[in-house]
Amino acid sequence: MASLTPTTEAQKDSSQLRQKEMIADHYSRLAQSPKSGEKNVYTFVPGNLTELLLSFDLLPVLPEINALQSSMRGKSREYISIAEKQGHSPDVCTYVKCDVGMKASGNIGPTGEHLPDPDLLLLSYTGCFTFMKWFEILRQEYDNCPVAMLHVPYQGDGEVTEAMLGYVVDQLKTKVIPKLEELSGKKYDEDRLSELLANSAKAEDDLVWVLESAKNRPSPIDAYFGGVYYIGPIFTAFRGTEGAVDYYRLLRAEIEERIERGQGPITPDGELTGEAFRIVVEGPPNWTNFRQFWKMFSDERAVVVASTYTKVGGVYDYGFRHDPDRPLESLAEYCMGCYTNLNLPSRIDMLSKYVRDYQADGLLINSIKSCNSFSAGQLMILREVENRTGVPGGFIESDLVDPRYFSASNIKNRLESYFQMIDQKRQGGAA
């Protein structure tokens, strides 16, 4: 069993509490926007153009974040049921159905306040075809809302060419920026955008430092469960702001202190001590039973030292930073570099590197029933990473926000068997 400092309530660092406040404040600002006159833009997390929106004083709204927040608050089952009664298939991405059901239920956001209708629908397409269909649904729901689409080329050959870069930059200039100027009534201000991008780069430096702190033994963080809190501000509405810079400075200071003290990560049930397993995880987490899911790992003293989910909004640990000296080119490079826009060989390279760099004991895949963007090719990925690194792979299945597809007993049994297999291999008992 894990050695944990017992607590009756979920234990959180100051940084976790701070990011929770930031997100709550943002939702409150959105709820008040019809009175304040502020305009908003519905867009998606991977490849989002947050700095560009903020340079026009526009508020981002991210439907995936609405869905996962609704799920963690126990509302997704109801919303999904509403969407399926409207005719949406059980196999459709549950983020989409949760969003559809939330809209049909009054568009009440995670903080219990009404979210405004979009003033602009901005799709930055980055490797997930579902986003395009989701966008079509949003366009039907809000038929009087203007639309802008940024088509982002897929990294089929594993690289970004000059032609691809120019193609995206041209769209920013001729398709996206004119829509933002029309909505906001303001002209494009490249100096203002550059200021925001400089803030992004500062925050990205600290985020990468935090994620790479998991190379320590013991790891002071959990880069999957804890990681979803760490990426919150930079993947949502705050990248480019002073608030994001301050948050990541605070987070880094907390982790530096944990390293100095030789401490493991904070889990909802307390500090984990006696790290037993170091795992790399591929795939998103389950949100409906998030704390229960995390506990299955902490009970086995298993710490996730690297994950691909924390790269869906940017692969910063491979060196990318938003560049204030090349603002539009930098935004284009960012969009093309998100994890869902990488081909399978690139994903295999990344996971193999994580296993080696973080001295992981194994690779675990959480295959999401309704997310083809992640799940397609995962068994091939698993076998290839096993062959390259020699570490054993594990495979579990759940879903994003549909509680019907979280089988606690099945997942727990698979995890226990997987950790036993790792232990046996360490002891020379595995074939």
Spell out the per-residue pLDDT of the chain, length 431, in tens. Answer: 334 444 455 666 788 889 889 999 999 999 999 999 999 999 999 889 999 999 999 999 999 999 999 999 999 999 999 999 999 998 889 999 999 999 999 999 878 899 999 999 999 877 787 888 888 898 888 988 999 999 999 999 999 999 999 999 999 999 999 999 999 999 999 999 999 999 999 999 999 999 999 999 999 999 999 999 999 999 989 999 999 999 999 999 999 999 999 999 999 889 999 999 999 999 999 999 999 999 999 999 999 999 999 999 889 999 999 999 999 999 999 999 999 899 999 999 999 999 999 999 999 999 999 888 888 899 999 999 999 999 999 999 999 999 999 999 999 999 999 999 999 988 875 44
Q: Is 123 helix (H, G, I), strand (E, B) or coil?
A: strand
Q: Is 147 helix (H, G, I), strand (E, B) or coil?
A: strand
Give the Cβ contact number of residue 16 at 10 Å: 18
Question: What torsion, rounded to 10 degrees, do the Cα atoms 162, 166, 167, 170 define?
Answer: 180
Give the Cβ contact number of residue 286 at 10 Å: 25
Q: What is the pLDDT of residue 11?
A: 63
Q: Is 397 helix (H, G, I), strand (E, B) or coil?
A: strand
Two tokens, residue 258: 């944990």
Question: Parallel, antiparallel, or unpaired for β 362-368 and 277-282?
Answer: parallel
Residue 43's DSSP bridge partners are none
pTM: 0.93
Question: Do residues 266 and 223 make contact, with C-beta atoms less than 8 angstroms apart?
Answer: no
Q: Is the peptide bond before 90 cis (omega within 30 degrees of 0)?
A: no
Strands (DSSP E) found in 255-298? 266-267, 270-273, 277-282
Q: What is the pLDDT of residue 3?
A: 42
Helix axes 14-36, 242-261, angle to 10 degrees: 170
The H-or-E segment that residue 125 falls in is: strand 120-125
Strands (DSSP E) found in 185-312? 266-267, 270-273, 277-282, 302-307
Q: What is the pLDDT of residue 20?
A: 87
Q: What is the pLDDT of residue 230?
A: 94
The H-or-E segment that residue 368 falls in is: strand 362-368
Question: What torsion, rounded to 10 degrees, do the Cα atoms 420, 381, 68, 42 define?
Answer: 170
Identify the structural domains of the chain with CATH numbers, from first to last. 14-187 (3.40.50.11890)
d(Cα 232, Cα 411) in Å, to the nearest integer? 26
d(Cα 351, Cα 280) in Å, to the nearest integer? 8
d(Cα 349, Cα 281) in Å, to the nearest integer? 14
Two tokens, residue 172: 């920013």
